[in-house]
Amino acid sequence: MGGVEGMIKVKVKDRDEPYLVPAMVLALSSEVWRGCLAGSFKEGLAKELQLTDVADATFRILLDFLLPAAASSGIVTDSNVYQLTEISLKYEMPGLKSKCTLHLSSRDISADNVEQRLYLAIKFQDHADSGFFREDLQRCKSFLIEKFMHMDTCKILRAVQTRVKEDAAHASLSPAALTDLCINLTWEVMDGITCRAKKARTAYRNATPVGVQLNNIQHWAPDLYRFLQ
Q: Is the pTM of this model over 0.85?
A: no
Q: In terms of residue numbers, what domain contains 176?
A: 113-228
Q: Do the Cβ atoms of 21 and 61 come closer than 8 Å?
A: no
Inside any domain, residue 164: yes
Does any domain span residue 101? no
Instruction: Give the pLDDT confidence score for residue 224 in this predicted structure.
Output: 60
Beta strands 7-12; 19-22: pairing state: antiparallel
Q: What is the average pLDDT across 162-177?
A: 67
Q: Total structural domains in the chain? A: 1
Residue 10: predicted pLDDT? 93
Mean pLDDT, residues 180-196 taken together: 75
The rounded percent of the chain whose pLDDT value lies above 90 is 21
| Residue 227's pLDDT band (cuts 50, 70, 90) | low
Between helix 153-170 and helix 175-206 the angle, nearest 10°, is 170
